[in-house]
Amino acid sequence: MKPYKIICWAFALCFCISNHLKAQTISREELIFLTSEWKGERFADGRPKIADDLLVRAKNIGIDDAWTVLRNLGYNNQFESGWKMVNDSITVTGRALTAMFMPSRPDIEKSIKERGHKEGRKGNTNSWPIDILTKGDVYVADGFGKIDGGTLIGSTLGNSIFAKSGNGVVFNGAARDVEGLADIKGFNAFVRDFHPSYIRDMVLMGLNTPIRIGQAIVLPGDLVIADREGVLFVPAQLAEQVVATSEFVVLKDKFGFEMVKTNRYSTGQIDSEWTDEIKTSFIKWLELHPDLGRMTRAQLDKVMSKRTW
């Protein structure tokens, strides 16, 4: 192929890619700017890609501990409570894929759908976020709290979501067909309510953009941790620190419970700054419980030096 043809082909490809990703999204550059503290891998659109193993580890930490770490780092608007769930025994953790819906008006919805369909998007706008889900994603949508007519999914779309992401959803809105959703093994939905109506008078105004869920701010790629207590949105660049610190708190509590029960140390000693003796006892205790993991004295000193919980 001649050089000028290669250049023309590459230019056309880049144009098609950028054009395809345009509908309702922000630019890759803007998303990277908004998440500039993230230094790891990213998806093609710029969304931070937290490692899969960290998503697994996040399932075993408590929201209380993770919330405390964030709070002490100055992140005060990352938690929202007051949810109804499909299954209150299933914790949902994953990377946020965000969508912002607004009340529809005919002229705007017509223009949005026409542009989206020209760019290859199919169906109603509430299916567009589902079409781009990948494994490990959590579909997080601001449906402005709408219940009647605010049902962003039913069992059909719920099955599609779980097939693509292996995960659940968090909607500041509603869902329908709760029995059908409950039949999806491993799936959970955190919603404001359930309602038998079909979605109406809603239009997608933002896809993989910053959104508000109640009192919390959510950016694409945030680590989502959702359980019976509520939903926590951890900025991607803090995910490793929050998970690692929360894991240590779990170990500290297990160690502390055992030490208090055996009268070796008091609760005051466990819950305050640890002496060298307690740190040595903790390391030896871990050696007796290899299933709980390993930690060197240097690692312990490092995590304890930042103790604000």
Among the ranges given (20-24, 57-61, 76-80, 213-217), the one the predictor scored with the smallest mean pLDDT: 20-24
pLDDT category of residue 308 using cuts at 50, 70 and 90 = low
- Would you give the end-to-end CA distance of the chain in angstroms? 63
pLDDT category of residue 211 using cuts at 50, 70 and 90 = very high
Q: Which two tokens stand for residue 204?
A: 């997608």
pLDDT at 292: 85
User: How far apart, in whole angstroms, are the C-alpha atoms of residue 232 and residue 225?
Assistant: 5
pLDDT at 1 over 80: no
pLDDT at 302: 83
- What does the pLDDT average to over 128-156? 97
Cα 1 from chain centre: 45
pLDDT at 306: 67
pLDDT category of residue 20 using cuts at 50, 70 and 90 = very low
Residue-wise pLDDT for 102-116, tens only, equals: 999 999 999 999 999
Helix spans in 202-275 (H)? 239-261, 267-270
Enter the pTM of the model.
Answer: 0.86
User: How far apart, in whole angstroms, are the C-alpha atoms of residue 152 and residue 19?
Assistant: 26
Of 127, 137, 122, 125, residue with least CA distance to 205: 125
pLDDT category of residue 25 using cuts at 50, 70 and 90 = confident
pLDDT category of residue 294 using cuts at 50, 70 and 90 = confident
- What does the pLDDT average to over 269-287? 92
Residue-wise pLDDT for 245-274, tens only, equals: 999 988 999 999 999 999 999 999 998 889
Mean pLDDT over each residue of the chain, to the nearest integer = 91
- What does the pLDDT average to over 214-221? 98
Long-range contact pairs involving 110-113 (C-beta distance under 8 Å, separation at least 24): 112/23, 112/24, 112/203, 112/204, 112/205
pLDDT at 61 over 70: yes
pLDDT at 81: 97
Domain with CATH 3.50.30.40 in the chain: 52-237
- What does the pLDDT average to over 5-14? 40
pLDDT at 6 over 70: no
Q: Report the 10 Å Cβ neighbour count for 268.
A: 7
- What does the pLDDT average to over 40-69? 95
pLDDT at 24: 78
pLDDT category of residue 307 using cuts at 50, 70 and 90 = low
pLDDT at 32: 97
CATH architecture of 52-237: 3-Layer(bba) Sandwich (3.50)
